[in-house]
Each structure stands twice: as structure tokens, then as C-alpha cells.
A = this chain, B = another copy of it.
């Protein structure tokens, strides 16, 4: 059945970020839509942000296009150019390899949500703009290191 029953699709919280960085995305919940719909070529999620929450650490992808549309509330897009308020229907596109790190934060006092689409690729590298960290992705394995490839220290 192509039409998805969003009321029955599960949400997940938590993060794969190492160490104390996982706490940075508290207040974020994610509802996968593409996987339960049988899609494999790109991922589609609804991301819901409680007031004060962020979508991710600010980052950019080397191999994967990304697209977002706000669906609820007010999100603030933070990128190298500053802060950009986004309301329902507002969209942003992040081409693979464009070194303009971005994330969405909820600076309002009400919940906010957005739809996000990202290409599925066998490998990817993402760089984090505000810290010395990158992630190297191979299949389902995420290897977080410093940007020069050396190990992170215990405090992330």
C-alpha cells in the first residue's frame, strides 16, 4: 500500500554521536517514512524538534544531496551565512560536497518539524563545522574521528 499511515509508523530518539555529543540532540525525534514505504535509493524522515532542540550537529555531506521542507512550527536554519527562519512550506537544499555546514534548530517555544530527504550512498563522509570531527560512513558503519582521521578523545 503506497499511502503511508503515519499514525502507525514508529518514532525513534537517541543518536549515534560518540560520547557526550549524543546529548546534543536531546529533544529530537525521528519518524522514518522512506524505509517503511520500501524505498532504498533515498531516505525520507520527519524530524520533530522540541523547543531548544537541534536536528543534528552542524555538518555537510560529501556524497549525499539533502533537502528539507518545514512542516510544522518555526525552524531556524543555521549555516555559514547565519540564521534563517523557516516556516511551514519553506525549503532548503544542500548539494553533496557544498562545504556549507547546516542544521535546523528550534528556537521557538512550540514544537517544530520538518521533512528531510537524503540520498542513500554506499559510502559518505560528513564534516562537522563547529568542531574537529568527521564521520566516515561505509554501509551501516559510522566511524567518527578527528578531521585528520585520528581518534577522538574521551570527551568527544
A94 on the B face (CB < 8 A): yes
- Which residue in B33, B65, B100 is a CB contact (below 8 Å) of A39? B65
* A4 to B33 alpha-carbon distance, docked (Å): 23
In the assembled complex, A27 has its CB within 8 A of some CB on chain B: no
Alpha-carbon distance between A123 and B92 when the two chains are bound, in angstroms = 27
Interface footprint category on A = 35 or more
- Chain B residues with Cβ under 8 A from A95's Cβ? 37-40
A window 111-137: CB within 8 A of B:
115, 117, 119
Would B41 and A86 count as touching, CB distance under 8 A?
no
Whether A89 is near chain B, meaning CB under 8 Å from some CB there, is yes
Q: Which residues of B contact A93 (CB under 8 A)?
A: 2, 4, 33-34, 36-39, 44
The segment out of A14-22, A76-84, A140-148 that lies at the interface is A76-84
A81 touching B1 in the complex, CB below 8 Å, given contacts A42-B65, A44-B67, A98-B38:
yes
Please give the distance in Å from A38's CB to the nearest CB on chain B: 4
A62 at the interface (CB under 8 A from B): no
